[in-house]
Amino acid sequence: MTASAEEREARAALSRLTEPGRRNLAQAVAQHGAVLVLEEIRSESDVLGNRSDLADRLRGLDARAELDRAAEQGIRFVIPGDDEWPSAVDGLNDCGQVDGSGGAPLGLWARGPLRLDEVAIQAVAVVGSRSATTYGTTVAGDLSARMAHEGWTVVSGGAFGIDQAAHRGALAEGRTAVVLACGVDRAYPIAHQRLLGFVAEHGVIVSELPPGCTVTRGRFLTRNRVIAALSSGTVVIEAALRSGAINTASWTNELGRPLMAVPGPVTSAASAGAHQLIRNRGAVLVTRGEEVLELLAPMGSRTLDEPRGAESPRDWLDPIEKRVLDALPVRRPAGLASLASTAGLARPRVRRSLAVLEEAGFAEASEDGWRLGPLGRST
């Protein structure tokens, strides 16, 4: 760590005093430094000399002791200026507000061996519905496993449904990062205690909120901007029209990073939001990890061929041979003149094509003429 101890303590104090996502505070700290901003808060009072609410609460804070307690739990507080700081999140300072929140984090509390700067180098967010279908969780798990296998960190929010499937898929092949809307020392949801414990041992758990903080509705929304900012792009899998995943997608657009969505059944309300992202908000339709890699990897390095159906022996025939093949009857043989008339071709051209088709097994000759051979009947 390279940032000063005074700046770290000041940012830790501010993260305890204020809610995440206050854009004006983030801008003030970025411009003047947390130490000066904290001193301004400490001196706030009204005309009668009564301290402001923040100034009064500040008197009971001991940021240095809080940092020491966090370190004893294996929790570190990473701030701008540290070698580990993920500079990708600084882009939030150049964005507007989404649902009333904005600005870069004052700092990030982290638990786990995976460094935050390493996460941000090559990361993809995979988000979606908590009430996911089997289809959605299967796609999320497979896509995340593929990305992790290729060395990408999968970032998500640790919730039920798509988030859980994404983390599990990534852990099967590589690494993952969980961004929580509570302190990194808490398990939310409680049913994911074992999953989060495993991530803390092999990946990283991240939050703007100090240890001990609980979740609130608003904190889920401010958390989503960190998920988007840590990632090179976002994949939405199963999202209703109003959902946290759509909020994350909005932040991805604000940051100018690639937004992708996986389509579902057109009758599924769980995928209606994902479909709207594709239809109206510039999301690229993706169905598997290879398509995500094509979009996020360096330009031209992961180009995919256009998908084609299964190859047929007919694919090797030229257009004239295909016309003659289509003119051949199944059972009763036809003469050369009849075939030429049906195919709309001159007899010499039909004769040459029949020789090719017979050699390949598409046609067979008899005393009465020509008909489909074994290969022709099977295709």
Which helix (H) or strand (E) segment holds residue 219: the answer is helix 217-230
- Placement of tokens 């932040």 in the chain: 251
The side-by-side arrangement of strands in the sheet containing 233-237 is: 75-78, 108-111, 204-207, 176-179, 153-156, 123-128, 233-237, 259-262, 284-285
Q: In the structure, what pLDDT confidence band is assigned to residue 10 with cuts at 50, 70 and 90? A: very high
Q: What residue spans in the chain does CATH classification 3.40.50.450 cover?
A: 66-296
Residue type at 160 in one-letter notation: F
28-to-6, 9, 14, 224, 246 alpha-carbon distances in Å: 17, 17, 12, 22, 29
Q: In the structure, what pLDDT confidence band is assigned to residue 308 with cuts at 50, 70 and 90? A: low
Which helix (H) or strand (E) segment holds residue 31: the answer is helix 23-32
Strands (E), the chain: 75-78, 108-111, 123-128, 153-156, 176-179, 204-207, 233-237, 259-262, 284-285, 363-366, 369-372
The pLDDT, as a whole number, for residue 312 is 83
Give the integer Cα–Cα distance in Å for 6 and 254: 32
If phi over 0 gives left and psi between -120 and 50 gives alpha, with beta otherwise, what is residue 99?
left
Query: pLDDT for 22-56, tens place per residue?
Result: 998 999 999 999 999 888 887 775 444 455 677 76
Nearest Cα residue to 199 out of 112, 258, 277: 112
Q: Are the CB atoms for 206 and 184 separated by under 8 Å?
A: yes
The pLDDT, as a whole number, for residue 43 is 79
The pLDDT, as a whole number, for residue 298 is 80
- Average per-residue pLDDT for the chain: 92
The pLDDT, as a whole number, for residue 230 is 98
Highest-scoring range by mean pLDDT, 27-41, 138-152, 302-316? 138-152
Q: In the structure, what pLDDT confidence band is assigned to residue 145 with cuts at 50, 70 and 90? A: very high
Query: pLDDT for 350-363, tens place per residue?
Result: 999 999 999 999 99
Token reading at 268: 């599924």
Query: pLDDT for 223-282, tens place per residue?
Result: 999 999 999 999 999 999 989 999 999 999 999 999 999 999 999 999 999 999 999 999
Q: What is the mean pLDDT of residues 126-151?
A: 97
Q: If you write DSSP's letter for every residue of 263-315 in order, what string do you get?
A: ---TT-GGGHHHHHHHHHS-PEE--SHHHHHHHHSSTTTTPPPPP-PPP-GGG
CATH number of 66-296: 3.40.50.450
Q: In the structure, what pLDDT confidence band is assigned to residue 187 with cuts at 50, 70 and 90? A: very high
CATH 3.40.50.300 correct for 313-378: no
- In the predicted model, is pLDDT for residue 75 greater than 70? yes
- 10 Å Cβ neighbour count for 135? 16
Token reading at 379: 């295709």
Q: What is the mean pLDDT of residues 81-108?
A: 94
The pLDDT, as a whole number, for residue 305 is 64
Query: pTM for this structure?
Result: 0.83
Q: What residue spans in the chain does CATH classification 1.10.10.10 cover?
A: 313-378
